[in-house]
Amino acid sequence: MSGNLRVLIIGGVACGPKAAARLKRLMPEAEITMLEKGAMVSYGACGLPYYVEGTFSNINALTHTPAGVSRTPEFFRTWKGFQTLTGTEAIAINRHDKQVRVRDLKNGGEEDLPYDKLVLATGGSPFKPPIPGLDLANVWFMTHPDDAASLVAEIERQELKKAVLVGAGFIGLEVAEALINRGLEVTMVEMADHIMPGILDEDIARFAQIHMEDNDVELVLGETVTALEGEGRVQRVVTGKRKIEADFVIVGVGTRPNDVLAREAGLRCEKGIVVNEFCQTSDPDIYAGGDCVSNAYIHRQVGDPLYVPLGSTANKHGRVIANHIAGKPTPFSGITCSSVVRVFDYTLGRTGLSERMAQLLGIDYEVTTWSGQDIPHYMTGSRLFAIKMIASRRDRKVLGVQVAGMGNGAKRLDVAASVIYFGGTLDELADIDFGYAPPFGPPIDPLAVCAHVLTNKLDGLAAGIPPLEAKRLMDTGDCLLLDVRIPDEAKMEWIPHTDMLHIPLSELRERVAELPQDRDILTYCKVSMRGYEAQRILNAAGIDRVRFIEGGVAAWPFETAMPGI
């Protein structure tokens, strides 16, 4: 390609700056111009909730490099070597003449900018549900630094106290923690029956919901917001069942691709801009990446496109685009839906398929839930967490992993993401050479232990029952709940049921005769290990209708009973 190649980039948040910086390194002589209609460029939008919480006091820190230098147009000119025009909106693309009509938002002036290659990094916009009242004062959509800055300012100026969050996704959960830590009252309304419905399965979500409620977040689940009410400013949130008083509302119910510019230019769009594996649009001289595209998020396991807008993926798209323009084609290889979020003291996340997705795809799968400590129990800072793992019955490939709890689930999620990305099996996961030392993990890593449990289920050794299924069976009253913990443990906290029996595992072999052979027996302990051993003991004694509650008390996603409660 010619050394004076003209590259025009529309959008200056994630994909755009990445594409520009990478391309300038590959093609130093290229003339690169990046347009951004806002005043800020290259900011970390995912940090907005933490500004609201007060983790840092300068909103401009979201634009800083690790060295503390602000990413301004001057920074990109002197450090990166390309031009950045802020306050400049692209209003039309002339594909025939290879020009983009732009408008200066300060003075209204318009001009045409030429290009040889055009990159659309126009991002996404918050979805605004069709409900009345969204235009009232004190209603926020948390997508831009200006949103976070104005929210904090108005909380302080108006002395706002009661927040209602519409939507229980990433933004909702992170902002809920931020507001609680600021001393506000928080109610979260979600139309699905559990939090993070697009990410987590019900059992893991329920486990996390208990923690949120323990931290004073009021959850209103399974209810749809029908209106926001108030005189000039919002005062109430209305659902089909109630009215909730509110000083302010934050709406976070998803993102929609900004594809209007592409559509008007005649580019192929289907709920977002359609691109190939190199992020080329239907016009080979025009590229698109980040939240504005619809089909670049190909799920590696099923081959179908999913819309999972994340800054991490947008940056990958930027690199793919730059490489292709520079003649170094490296196709984008897809995603495994890896997502993680901190909610108070819990880490929540998923990679790969959820159980619900596996069901919808008609996959023959097996699933288990494990719970335990992230590092050895004798180490200070050892914390409990739960892992849910899904694998294919046909070839034993790991399909999905979810984590929840105080322990270091993010580390395990990243390892699982790698295994899933490369199509690994349960046996291969269990055999990974994890780094071991007591400050970092136990001799057999929790992820490997979970893989062992699931392997035992596939091999017919472990008869585990998922917590939700166990609860349904218990609600019918047609089962015996067998607690095999030591007496002191059993007195501290237990799973409530109308028909319970306590026999410590150490006494079980001698007391087998006390158990019925014609009823379902559900065994459990703190985590699940002794429950599994009890199942094997009873099976060996000729009692077949035995299953252990996976995850035990530690991962029970419903209320437990305690003395005096």
Of the candidates 556, 559, 449, 561, which has an alpha carbon nearest to the alpha carbon of residue 203?
556
Burial string for 25-48 (b: 16+ CB within 10 Å, else e) reads: eebeebbbbbbbbbebbbbbbbbb
Distant-in-sequence, close-in-space partners of 200: CB < 8 Å, separation ≥ 6: 194, 208, 348, 350, 354, 402, 404
Q: Alpha helix locations (H) across 54-201?
A: 73-75, 145-158, 170-181
Coil, helix or strand at residue 83:
strand
Residue 494 bridge partners (DSSP): 561
For residue 397, what pLDDT is reported? 96
For residue 2, what pLDDT is reported? 44
Q: Where in the chain is the domain with CATH 3.50.50.60?
A: 6-124+256-325, 139-253, 339-458
Burial string for 245-260 (b: 16+ CB within 10 Å, else e) reads: ebbbbbbbbbbbbbbe
Distance CA 359, CA 260 (A): 35
For residue 1, what pLDDT is reported? 42
Q: How many residues are listed for the chain in this entry?
A: 565
Distance CA 174, CA 424 (A): 32
Residue 338 near residue 349, CB atoms below 8 Å: yes
Find the largest Cα–Cα distance for the chain.
89
For residue 348, what pLDDT is reported? 97
What one-letter code names the amino acid at 129?
A: P
Distance CA 515, CA 501 (A): 9
For residue 565, what pLDDT is reported? 57
CB count within 10 Å of CB 76 equals 22
Would you please indicate which residues are annotated as catalytic (active-site) residues? 46
CATH architecture assignment, domain 139-253: 3-Layer(bba) Sandwich (3.50)
Residue 54 backbone class (left: φ over 0; alpha: ψ -120 to 50; beta: rest)? left
Q: What is the DSSP letter of 381?
A: T
Beta strands in 53-109 (DSSP E): 83-86, 88-94, 99-104
The string of DSSP codes covering 425-482 is BHHHHHT------TTT--SS-HHHHHHHHHHHHHTTS--EE-HHHHHHHHHHT-EEEE
Burial string for 497-535 (b: 16+ CB within 10 Å, else e) reads: beebbbbbbeebeeebeebeeeebbbbbbbbbbbbbbbb
Q: Where in the chain is the domain with CATH 3.40.250.10?
A: 464-555
CATH topology of domain 339-458: FAD/NAD(P)-binding domain (3.50.50)
Residue holding tokens 């929609």? 256
Residue 173 near residue 347, CB atoms below 8 Å: no
Taking the CA atoms of 55, 56, 60 and 61 in sequence, report the sign of the dihedral they define.
negative
Distant-in-sequence, close-in-space partners of 514: CB < 8 Å, separation ≥ 6: 501, 503
Bridge-based pairing of strands 546-549 and 464-465 is parallel
For residue 300, what pLDDT is reported? 77
For residue 238, what pLDDT is reported? 98
For residue 29, what pLDDT is reported? 96
pLDDT digits (tens, 9 = 90+) for 138-187: 999 999 999 999 999 999 999 999 999 999 999 999 999 999 999 999 99
Going from the C-alpha of 108 to that of each of 88, 111, 212, 285, 305, the distances in angstroms are 10, 10, 48, 28, 39
Q: What is the pLDDT along the chain (565 residues), one digit of tens a residue?
A: 445 899 999 999 999 999 999 999 999 999 999 999 999 999 999 999 999 999 999 999 999 999 999 999 999 999 999 999 999 999 999 999 999 999 999 999 999 999 999 999 999 999 999 999 999 999 999 999 999 999 999 999 999 999 999 999 999 999 999 999 999 999 999 999 999 999 999 999 999 999 999 999 999 999 999 999 999 999 999 999 999 999 999 999 999 999 999 999 999 999 899 999 999 999 999 999 999 998 877 677 777 777 888 889 999 999 999 999 999 999 998 888 899 999 999 999 999 999 999 999 899 999 999 999 999 999 999 999 999 999 999 999 999 999 999 999 999 999 999 999 999 999 999 999 999 999 999 999 999 999 999 999 999 999 999 999 999 999 998 899 999 999 999 999 999 999 999 999 999 999 999 999 999 999 999 999 999 999 999 999 999 999 999 999 999 999 999 987 5
Distance CA 17, CA 121 (A): 9
Residue 423 backbone class (left: φ over 0; alpha: ψ -120 to 50; beta: rest)? left
Distance CA 345, CA 341 (A): 11
Distance CA 506, CA 196 (A): 41
Residue 305 backbone class (left: φ over 0; alpha: ψ -120 to 50; beta: rest)? beta
Residue 47 near residue 60, CB atoms below 8 Å: no
Of the candidates 141, 181, 139, 148, which has an alpha carbon nearest to the alpha carbon of residue 58?
148
Q: Alpha helix locations (H) across 144-201?
A: 145-158, 170-181
- The reply to whether CATH 3.40.630.20 applies to domain 464-555 is no
Distance CA 446, CA 561 (A): 27
CATH topology of domain 6-124+256-325: FAD/NAD(P)-binding domain (3.50.50)
